[in-house]
Structures are given as C-alpha cells and as structure tokens.
Chain A
Amino acid sequence: NAGVTQTPKFQVLKTGQSMTLQCAQDMNHEYMSWYRQDPGMGLRLIHYSVGAGITDQGEVPNGYNVSRSTTEDFPLRLLSAAPSQTSVYFCASSYSRTGGLVEQYFGPGTRLTVT
C-alpha cells in the first residue's frame, strides 16, 4: 500500500495562476479531505468528501474547488492563486463507522508559495 500520496511536493505560483494539487489513496477509503496548515493556525479544513460524487465545504473553502469522480482521487483546484493561499496543504483519507471516523491517514503535504 502506498497510502495517501500527494503531488507535487513543492510548487511556486504567480498571483492569478491556477493549478491542481493531486491526492490519491489506495486503501478504498470513502472519506477524503483537504487541510491547509499555517503557522499558529493548526489545521483548517478546506473541503471534504464522504464518497465518490459527494463533496462538501469545510472551514475555509473560498478560492478552492474539489471534485470526487473516483474513490481513489480527490484533487484540489486553486482557481486564481493569491498570496494568502501560501501554505502547506495536506490530504487525508479515512473509512467511517457508525460511531464516527476511524483514524485519518495523511499524505506528506504540498508546500505552496504564491508570489
């Protein structure tokens, strides 16, 4: 099992450019999510998905789009990059049970700088 993989590891964008951060998991998890991590802010949820074809917004969704066409993939799109989107982005996946999510598995992160 590769677990949760993210590409690229590092990216520099100019303001206004668009790009897609890739996330894939090979554990057949229904649940996937995207977080951003900024100094002193902990993890903030951007978008999440409870299964293929289903997505929902998290705490900080503005400026980002997601789609979930397959169980394995959950790409995050930046529509028009802004310096405020400079951050480290983590993708995570989990399976759920009636009592709630079982542990989340995190990818290694993508460090994005917008100039």
Chain B
Amino acid sequence: GDSVTQMEGPVTLSEEAFLTINCTYTATGYPSLFWYVQYPGEGLQLLLKATKADDKGSNKGFEATYRKETTSFHLEKGSVQVSDSAVYFCALSDSGNTPLVFGKGTRLSVIA
C-alpha cells in the first residue's frame, strides 16, 4: 500500500539556519503531495502542496518540489525563525476517495 517516510526528529536549529526535512513516498498511482504543520496545542494546517511531477509548492518561505524520479517531496526553508517551531507532516493523496497517508511527523525547534 501507499506509505510516507519522513526523517526522524527532533530537529533543533538556530535562527536563520537552513532547514531541510526529507520526505519520500511509495504510491501505486500519481499522488498529490502535501506538507502540513502543527503548532503547539493546535490542529494540523496545510502548509503547501503539489499535484504533479516537477510542481513546486511554496508558502511562508517554505518550498517543496515533487520529484517523481526520486519519489521525494523534501521541505526546505532558507532561514528559519523561532516562530517556525512546530511539528511538520508529509502526506500523500492517491486517486479516488482513499484516505490521506501521513508520515510520522518531524518536530522542529528553532532557538534564538
């Protein structure tokens, strides 16, 4: 079945450091790919998405490119802020009404 693997956390960075969170997937079809973010005490909210190969999703300085050849959707940000401290989830949606498949989440802590 479909699956998502993302790097284990926690990740601790200093403010203004470069961030990469790796995400790879296994899917039978051509899935849509998502990054969700969960701030402390809140529900998940969509950060960015990409629906086809070579698409780049971007939002709030975060970017991720849908790489079909490497089945990856790595999340990057050039300069993180303390306010980016959160848990980040990679997810995919395959065709039809099958449920979203989530990775286990990566906790990011940014220190000033």
Interface residues of A (CB under 8 A from B): 4, 30-31, 33, 40-43, 45, 48, 50, 58, 90, 92, 94, 96, 98-109
Contact = CB atoms under 8 A, between A and B. Distances in A.
Contacts, number: 63
Contacts of A58: 99
Which DSSP category, helix, strand, loop or mixed, fits chain B's interface?
Answer: loop
Contact of A108 (B43, B46, B95, B105): B43
Interface in B38-96: 42-46, 49, 51, 89, 93-96
Contact of B89 (A43, A94, A105): A43
Nearest to A35: B102
B52 to A, nearest CB: 9
B88 to A, nearest CB: 11
A42 B97 contact: no
A72 B32 CA distance: 25
B47 to A, nearest CB: 10
Contact of A103 (B42, B49, B94): B49
Contact of B34 (A99, A103, A107): A103
A108 B44 CA distance: 8
B100 A101 contact: yes
